[in-house]
Amino acid sequence: MDDFNKEFSLTPLKHQFDESDLHSMSLDELKNMRQKVEDKVQNLQSELSDLAFHNYRTYVDVSTTAEYCREKFSQMDILMRQSSSSFPALEEQIDQFKNQSTQLFNEFKLLGDVESTNFLIWEIIRLPKLMEKCIRAGHFDQAYSITNFALSIKQSKLVQYPLFKNVVDYLLEARHSLLDELFNKFSGPLNLANSIQIINNIRKIPYISKTQLRISILQYRDIYLEKKVSSIMSEPDFILRVIEVYRECMYDTIILYLAVFPETDTQQRFVNEDTRWERWTGSSQNYLLQCWAQKNIERLLNYVQCFDYTSLLDIEMVVSKLMSCAFSFGRMGLDFRSLIHYKFSQMVLNIFQNKIEAATKSFTSNEKIDLIDDGIFESTQSELKKEINRVDLSAPLELCIWDELCVFGNSIINALNEIRHSIYINSIHRVFNILHFSFQNIFAWLDSFLSNQENIFIVKKATFLLIKQFL
């Protein structure tokens, strides 16, 4: 366009006239001026013709472009009118985009904070491992504080998020592990101060009742007893060691139980002055302890009764040990010496009965009555009397005729000698019945030989020796 203006620019007039100049000009000058103006007009028309001829295509393009622009602007006007109705929705979406961008920025900032190791969420996530460390290290107060913190999170809105909910559920479930670890302390040796502290920690856990606490403590003490007994079973003095183990474990358990679960003032008001004669009753708060103690006393006595004793002297030593153990529990209302007396008197009598029955069976198992001939006995009787004059005989010399009867008699004497320190006055009747039954079997055995006429004389002689000389 600049080139066009340069090429086809109109030639400017050489003279500019004011109205005052026209008044001062002559007629000829005016005519000349008119002629010049006409010449200029003709030149201008000629230039315009040349311009139109030489720039026809340009004019055509300009007109086409103008028409195209007019159509486009018409379309734009239509589109703008149509789009004007969607401007409110677009504005709303722009506002929504702005809000979401702000939220995204805040979340991105929060994510940056979360990535920091000092952020609180990481401390909460690490709580389960911290809980396990506290339990293993025995820091039960700290472990319980962590569970309380988890409980406070559970009561807040944070539990709506799965991350916090999983941590809270794990920590609350870890209370069971904490409880097991606390109770496991009672399956070993007891320290009164530490045990009381452990029980106080257990009491903080809400879902265990007082009765459950008492029963669980006694059950774990049973576990400790079983472990101790198992560890000494192979020792030669097992039966004496097991009495000592039961005495120590039961004594520590009873002391702890009475210290942690004392009787009420109302019940203590009616306690006898001499506490050695105090007895637990079914209405006592310590009834569970009584049942536990009686059960373990029965188990101890079963161990003692089932032991294979070599002699009654061993039994007397065990009874002495048990009596001392029972007496030590007297001031706790657990004096079981009368039970020991009954159990072991029956045990001694059973051993005595077994020995008498064995001797009787051995004596009556002979198929014949083997007596020394009277002639042989009379020929040697004088010599025997000379040899034994210097000593006192405990049995008639005539018993030498029947060797089996002498062996049987010695067995009875040995059995009676073994129980002479262990038998009580109320057991004499049973001893008599055992011996009475034994002699009944012997006489029945002698009667079995009367079916043969050849044995009548020997049976009479044997009966005479048994009644006259032996009994």
pLDDT tens digits, 357-374: 888 888 888 888 777 765
Sign of CA dihedral 341, 344, 350, 351: negative
Contact by Cβ (8 Å): 164, 124: yes
- pLDDT band, very low/low/confident/very high, at 309 (cuts 50, 70, 90): low
Nearest to 171 by CA among 208, 127, 121, 133: 127
Question: Rg of the chain over CA atoms, in angstroms?
Answer: 63
Contact by Cβ (8 Å): 301, 323: no
In the chain, the amino acid numbered 205 is I
SS3 content of the chain, % helix, strand, coil (to 5): 80, 0, 20
pTM across the whole model: 0.53
Residue carrying structure tokens 């008492």: 214
**Three-class secondary structure of residue 160 per DSSP:** helix
Per-residue model confidence (pLDDT) at position 395: 56
When pLDDT is averaged across residues 99-104 and rounded to a whole number, the result is: 87
Contact by Cβ (8 Å): 305, 347: yes
Distance, CA of 380 to CA of 116 (rounded, Å): 116
Helices 337-364 and 312-328, axial angle in degrees (round to 10): 170
State yes or no: pLDDT of 280 exceeds 60. no
Contact by Cβ (8 Å): 201, 182: yes
**pLDDT > 70 fraction of the chain, expressed in percent and rounded:** 79
Residue with the bigger pLDDT between 160 and 412: it is 412
- pLDDT band, very low/low/confident/very high, at 119 (cuts 50, 70, 90): low
- pLDDT band, very low/low/confident/very high, at 9 (cuts 50, 70, 90): very low
Contact by Cβ (8 Å): 240, 208: no
Q: What is the largest CA-CA distance in the chain?
A: 221
Q: Tell me the DSSP string of 178-214.
A: HHHHHHHGGGS---HHHHHHHHHHHHHSTT--HHHHH
Contact by Cβ (8 Å): 199, 193: no
Distance, CA of 390 to CA of 295 (rounded, Å): 59
State yes or no: pLDDT of 123 exceeds 70. yes
Contact by Cβ (8 Å): 245, 232: yes
Contact by Cβ (8 Å): 340, 320: no
- pLDDT band, very low/low/confident/very high, at 378 (cuts 50, 70, 90): low
How far is CA 263 from its chain centroid?
30
What DSSP designation does 452 have? Answer: S
Per-residue model confidence (pLDDT) at position 272: 43
The residues, any chain, with a CB within 8 Å of residue 146's CB and separated by 6 or more, are: 127, 130, 131, 134, 171
Contact by Cβ (8 Å): 153, 159: yes
For residue range 414-453, list pLDDT tens digits in order. Answer: 888 877 776 777 778 888 888 889 888 888 888 888 877 7
In the chain, the amino acid numbered 194 is N
**Two structure tokens written together for 376:** 């042989």
Contact by Cβ (8 Å): 410, 347: no
Query: 112 φ, ψ to 5°?
Result: -65, -40
Torsion angle in degrees (nearest 10) through CA of 332, 333, 335, 338:
180
- pLDDT band, very low/low/confident/very high, at 377 (cuts 50, 70, 90): low
Per-residue model confidence (pLDDT) at position 31: 80
Distance, CA of 459 to CA of 455 (rounded, Å): 6
- Computed over every residue of the chain, the mean pLDDT equals 75
For residue range 216-263, list pLDDT tens digits in order. Answer: 888 888 898 888 888 888 888 888 888 888 888 888 888 888 888 876
The residues, any chain, with a CB within 8 Å of residue 343's CB and separated by 6 or more, are: 301, 304, 305
Per-residue model confidence (pLDDT) at position 301: 83
**Three-class secondary structure of residue 318 per DSSP:** helix
CA within 13 Å, CB half, 213: 20
In the chain, the amino acid numbered 102 is T
When pLDDT is averaged across residues 302-323 and rounded to a whole number, the result is: 74
In the chain, the amino acid numbered 294 is Q
